Amino acid sequence: MTPDTVVASAQRLAFENGIHHLLVLDNGTLTGIICREDLRLADRDALVGDCMSSPVLCIPPETTLQEAVDIMGANDIDCLPVVTGAFLVGIVTRDALATAGLSAEEAAEKDLMACTACGITDHVRRDPRAGGIPLCVHCQGFMSASQANVRFAD
């Protein structure tokens, strides 16, 4: 979505698709992030750009899971976009981190392959452009972002 998206449209997109975190792009540049709670509290006629968080705290792919947990805790956030160079390659969420401890056998036994970015389990496949991480079709669309206006965690 873009900063000039009306909150009511963003709410509909998030709730109908089970998405908890939405990235805000302006001309292909990551300019903000907004979560379901932000959308719930916002005026339906407001613009996403007025209630998104910006700049976006991001991490590189080589960040360990423990480092991601620590960064989320230290910054009181629930997700971290993962970028490599100028390309968005995924999103790590608290929910995804909670399931990251499952072994491959446990995941297969539960028929669980959740999107690393948003946590949904519908239409998920391992995306080779993102290093083989599981992504849903919605999050794969973010792979085409050509630039990212991001702030890396220290």
The answer, yes or no, to whether residue 72 has pLDDT greater than 80, is yes
The answer, yes or no, to whether residue 144 has pLDDT greater than 50, is no
The pTM of this model reads 0.63
Query: What is the reported pLDDT for 94?
Result: 82
Query: What is the reported pLDDT for 65?
Result: 83
> If we measure between CA atoms, which residue out of 68, 30, 34, 64 comes closest to residue 50?
34
Query: What is the reported pLDDT for 73?
Result: 86
Task: Give the three-class secondary structure for 101.
Answer: coil
Query: What is the reported pLDDT for 106?
Result: 46
pLDDT in tens, 86-129: 788 888 888 777 766 644 444 444 445 677 666 666 667 776 66
Task: Give the three-class secondary structure for 126.
Answer: strand
Domain ranges of the chain: 7-152
CATH number corresponding to 7-152: 3.10.580.10
What own/partner pairs with CB < 8 Å and gap ≥ 24 does 71-78 have?
Answer: 71/153, 72/97, 75/153, 78/20, 78/21, 78/35
pLDDT in tens, 5-52: 999 999 999 988 888 899 998 887 888 999 988 999 999 999 999 999
Q: Which residue has the higher pLDDT, 81 or 84?
A: 81
Residue 22 CB neighbours (<10 A): 25
